[in-house]
């Protein structure tokens, strides 16, 4: 039975690899690896988006006046995303839309091999979820420092199902309204994309990955992006706190998950590679239903 389970995940990995090659995942939530969403951004910048110097003031509290954008989640299918370890007992964070509607969720641990996630708990009002698995990995700590306008950010994961990373700087707060499979409105943090390596067409698949500060600590979960405006959105700190409280999880990570240095503009590519190599940042596979064979007919 165990052999059959491993064979099932191996077949799914092969199917996903074929879909990547055929362009299937180009129909991406630019971020989720699903169908391309419809974005509606405010026409003017918020005050937090204006130039304020090398590093600006502390990010203000959420307000009903924060600009609103809309993202639509389509029908769920087999897809991929990203997760990251927050506890060495096999506890991970990801985005809700990455695992929502999945019959099986797996973490890729090596080429052609994945382990099944034992439990998933999604936030009912935000795009964040906790995963439990038997696979452990070095865990990252969560920052206790307030976010500041124009501070550096670094996003790691698997855009278009391939290793990748983005460097950014913090712009301000937005409200994200999700429609489609589920409906919710939540506060998010907007970042201006500075560098994307490699230069993928979209960031689909980076969803659920960690957003880190220059100290190598978690400041959010990457949940959405806009290629046209060069924006990356992450969960707000209050959302992280709410999810951990709901799950009864106390994170036990350390900065950079034990790497010798934090991310920077000069090293963030090698830094991302190191996080993925030690499985602190892992690819998530979502499986929706069994693949049915087409019926065969005989000529009469």
Contact 135, 109 (CB under 8 A): yes
Range in 79-93, 196-210, 259-273, 286-300 with the lowest mean pLDDT: 286-300
Strand partners, 220: 211
pLDDT interval class at 206 (50, 70, 90): very high
Alpha helices in the chain (DSSP H): 2-21, 96-99, 237-247, 268-277
Q: Is residue 13 assigned to a domain?
A: yes
- CA–CA separation, 95 vs 98, rounded Å? 5
Which residue would you say has higher pLDDT here, 142 or 18? 142
pTM: 0.82
With a CB cutoff of 8 Å and minimum separation 6, the contacts of 108 are 13, 114, 282, 283, 284, 285
Q: What is the pLDDT of residue 27?
A: 25
pLDDT at position 183 over 50: yes
Say what percent of the chain tops pLDDT 70.
78
Range in 108-112, 137-141, 255-259 with the lowest mean pLDDT: 108-112
**Of 187, 79, 190, nearest in space to 123 by CA:** 187
Q: Is residue 297 assigned to a domain?
A: no
Q: What is the pLDDT of residue 8?
A: 60
Q: Could you list the residue range(s) of the whole structural domain that residue 167 is in?
A: 2-44+56-287
Mean pLDDT confidence for 263-281: 97
Mean pLDDT confidence for 67-76: 90
Mean pLDDT confidence for 281-290: 90
Q: What is the pLDDT of residue 7?
A: 56
Q: Is residue 106 assigned to a domain?
A: yes
Q: Is residue 298 assigned to a domain?
A: no
pLDDT interval class at 289 (50, 70, 90): confident
The greatest distance separating any two alpha carbons of the chain, rounded to the nearest whole angstrom, comes to: 79
pLDDT at position 121 over 60: yes
Q: What is the pLDDT of residue 18?
A: 37
Range in 87-96, 149-158, 184-193, 220-229 with the lowest mean pLDDT: 220-229
Q: pLDDT for 214-260, tens place per residue?
A: 999 999 999 999 877 899 999 999 999 999 999 999 999 999 999 99
Mean pLDDT confidence for 145-150: 96
pLDDT interval class at 83 (50, 70, 90): very high
Q: Is residue 152 assigned to a domain?
A: yes
Q: What is the pLDDT of residue 21?
A: 35
pLDDT averaged over the chain? Answer: 84
Q: Please report, for the domain that includes residue 218, its CATH number.
A: 2.40.10.120
pLDDT interval class at 75 (50, 70, 90): confident
Q: Is residue 283 assigned to a domain?
A: yes
Mean pLDDT confidence for 82-95: 97
Number of domains present in the structure of the chain: 1
Q: Is residue 162 assigned to a domain?
A: yes
pLDDT at position 38 over 60: no
The four Cα atoms 91, 187, 100, 9 give a dihedral, to 10 degrees, of -50
Q: What is the pLDDT of residue 226?
A: 86
Q: Is residue 49 assigned to a domain?
A: no
Sheet holding 113-116, edge to edge: 113-116, 104-110, 281-287, 79-87, 91-94, 129-132, 119-122
pLDDT at position 33 over 90: no
Q: What is the pLDDT of residue 30?
A: 55
């Amino acid at each position: 039975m165990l052999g059959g389970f491993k064979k099932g995940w191996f077949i799914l990995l092969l199917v996903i690899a074929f879909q990547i090659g055929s362009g299937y995942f180009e129909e991406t939530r630019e971020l989720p690896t699903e169908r391309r969403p419809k974005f509606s951004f405010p026409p003017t910048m918020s005050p937090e988006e204006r130039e304020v110097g090398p590093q600006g003031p502390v990010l203000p509290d959420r307000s009903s006046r924060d600009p609103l954008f809309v993202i639509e989640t389509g029908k769920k299918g087999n897809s991929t995303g990203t997760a990251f370890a927050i506890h060495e007992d096999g506890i991970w964070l990801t985005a809700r839309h990455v695992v929502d509607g999945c019959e099986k969720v797996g973490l890729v641990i090596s080429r052609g091999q994945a382990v099944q996630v034992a439990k998933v708990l999604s936030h009912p009002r935000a795009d964040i979820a906790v995963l439990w698995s038997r696979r452990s990995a070095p865990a990252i700590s969560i920052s206790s420092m307030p976010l500041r306008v124009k501070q550096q950010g670094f996003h790691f994961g698997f855009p278009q199902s391939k290793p990748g990373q983005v460097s950014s700087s913090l712009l301000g707060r937005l409200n994200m309204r999700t429609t489609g499979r589920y409906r919710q409105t939540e506060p998010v943090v907007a970042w201006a994309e500075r560098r994307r390596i490699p230069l993928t067409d979209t960031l689909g698949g980076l969803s659920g990955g960690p957003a880190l500060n220059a100290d190598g600590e978690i400041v959010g979960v990457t949940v959405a992006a806009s290629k046209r405006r060069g924006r990356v959105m992450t969960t707000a700190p209050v959302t992280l706190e709410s999810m951990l409280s709901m799950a009864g999880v106390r994170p036990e990570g350390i900065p950079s998950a034990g790497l010798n240095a934090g991310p920077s503009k000069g090293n963030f590519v090698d830094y991302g590679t190191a996080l993925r190599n030690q499985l602190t940042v892992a690819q998530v596979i979502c499986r929706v239903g069994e693949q049915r064979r087409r019926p065969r007919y005989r000529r009469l």
